[in-house]
């Protein structure tokens, strides 16, 4: 029998895809108000791995990835996706999005994205939101799966996530050290 234990907190990552880079100037304060201070922000990536959003948002598109300082409980992902959906609606015009906001989280072993679309490899969370196992970490790197979106399997994204993983590992270590210091010594 397995013994349940508390899951490690995760590193919140939000990926933004947009045509108008100026949207980020208004969006960043809202994201920080909702999720706390930013730890790492990527450079702009060209978004040319798929034309999925072109009809809705136009071309060219750009991606920026935001990583937050505060670690989150993994069970918050559905609620976070609901919030980011509201932010998407704020910039919607004529029932078309001007920004796509993909929240997810990173653990030492995997990278998970939140989605409203069901599929065989997605696990239902809550509020119509599913967890998509996007990448797994093995042999010293993140590895794409057969269903991983091409932009998340790109070399530049994998490099960015590996850098983020190193920061997350340090955050997790510091959190565990702090928790140990706060625990009363049982030997006294």
Judge whether residue 138 has pLDDT over 90.
Answer: yes
Output the pTM of the full model: 0.92
Rounded CA gap, 81 and 41, in Å?
Answer: 19
Of 60, 42, 40, the C-alpha closest to 51 is 60
Judge whether residue 185 has pLDDT over 80.
Answer: no
List C-alpha distances in Å: 12 to 60, 73, 168.
Answer: 27, 9, 10
Q: How confident is the model at residue 186 (pLDDT cuts 50, 70, 90)?
A: low
Cβ contact 91:107 at 8 Å? no
């Amino acid at each position: 029998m397995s013994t349940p234990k508390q899951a490690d907190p995760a590193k919140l990552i939000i990926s933004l895809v947009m045509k108008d880079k100026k949207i980020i100037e208004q969006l960043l304060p809202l994201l920080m108000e909702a999720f706390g201070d930013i730890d790492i922000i990527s450079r702009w990536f060209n978004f040319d791995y798929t034309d999925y959003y072109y009809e809705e948002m136009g071309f060219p598109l750009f991606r920026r990835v935001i990583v937050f300082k505060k670690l989150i409980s993994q069970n918050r992902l559905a609620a976070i996706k609901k919030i980011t959906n509201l932010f998407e609606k704020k910039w919607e015009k004529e029932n078309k999005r001007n920004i796509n906001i993909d929240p997810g989280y990173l653990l030492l072993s995997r990278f998970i994205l939140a989605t409203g679309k069901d599929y065989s490899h997605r696990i239902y969370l809550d509020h119509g939101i599913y967890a998509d196992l996007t990448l797994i970490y093995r042999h010293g790197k993140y590895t794409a799966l057969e269903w991983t979106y091409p932009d998340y399997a790109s070399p530049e994204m994998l490099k960015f996530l590996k850098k983020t993983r190193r920061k997350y590992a340090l955050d997790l270590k510091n959190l565990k050290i702090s928790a140990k210091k706060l625990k009363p010594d049982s030997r006294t």
